[in-house]
Amino acid sequence: MGDSSTIWTLAIAAVTGGTAVLASWVTSRGSTQAARIQAETAARAQRAERLRESRRAAYLDLIEETHRIGEVYWEISAELREPPSAARNARLDVLLDREVAEYAKIRRCTRVVELEGPPSAAAAALALQKTTGPFYEALRTGLIDAADCREEFDAAYRPFWKALENFVNAAREAHQTE
């Protein structure tokens, strides 16, 4: 009987050892899988946060550039209130060059917003960019034709600032839903 109990003891020890090894293997696989899931979740969260910050920076850049070109528009409006003269036209030519330079910055900022998204913010940015056209056209026509363009120029303010307001709202909504 001694041999039989030894065999049973060995069998139980083997089963117990096998169970321990199997349990250890299952636990390590579960831990590995949990660690992988945790790492993937952290990576997704980091990507989402980077995108959020990138979008926020793009939105702020466009808003800042819009205010800069708005300052140029105010300078142009002030100049248009002056009596026509060669000196005024020379100053308006300089301001037109500044307007074109600021427009290039707005165009770049708009493209970044279009790249970063989402589509609602991109559409609002493009609409904002397009509202700069009437200012340019009014001033350019006034300079070329020596016409009084003040009324047309000043009429462009309301749509311009409204488009900025729409962009800010779209950007805020996009930023809050991310």
Complete DSSP assignment for 86-148: HHHHHHHHHHHHHHHHHHHHHHHHHHHHHHH--HHHHHHHHHHHHTTHHHHHHHHHHHHH---
Average pLDDT for 79-101: 94
Weakest-pLDDT range from 26-30, 96-100, 103-107: 26-30
Tell me the pLDDT band of 54, cut-offs 50, 70 and 90.
Answer: very high
Q: What does the pLDDT read at residue 2?
A: 56
Contact predicate 77/150, CB 8 Å: yes
Q: Which one is predicted more confidently, 84 or 98?
A: 98
- Between CA 133 and CA 47 the distance in angstroms is 37
How far apart, in Å, are the Cα atoms of 20 and each of 11, 16, 30? 14, 6, 15
Average pLDDT for 153-170: 96
Residues in the chain: 178
Tell me what percent of the residues of the chain surpass a pLDDT of 90: 60
Average pLDDT for 58-73: 97
- Is residue 83's pLDDT more than 60? yes
Answer whether CATH 1.20.1420.10 is correct for domain 51-177: yes
- Is residue 32's pLDDT more than 90? no
Q: What does the pLDDT read at residue 157?
A: 96
Mean pLDDT of the chain: 89
- Between CA 103 and CA 62 the distance in angstroms is 11
Task: Give the predicted TM-score (pTM) of the model.
Answer: 0.78
- Cα dihedral across residues 121, 122, 125, 126: positive or negative: negative
Classified as helix, coil or strand, 149 is coil
Residue type, 49: E
Weakest-pLDDT range from 24-28, 122-126, 147-151: 24-28
Q: What does the pLDDT read at residue 13?
A: 74
Q: Which one is predicted more confidently, 71 or 10?
A: 71
- Is residue 45's pLDDT more than 90? no
**Residues ≥6 apart with Cβ < 8 Å to 101:** none
Q: Give CA angle at 58 (52, 60), nearest 5°.
A: 100
Q: What does the pLDDT read at residue 144?
A: 85
Place of tokens 């363009």: 149
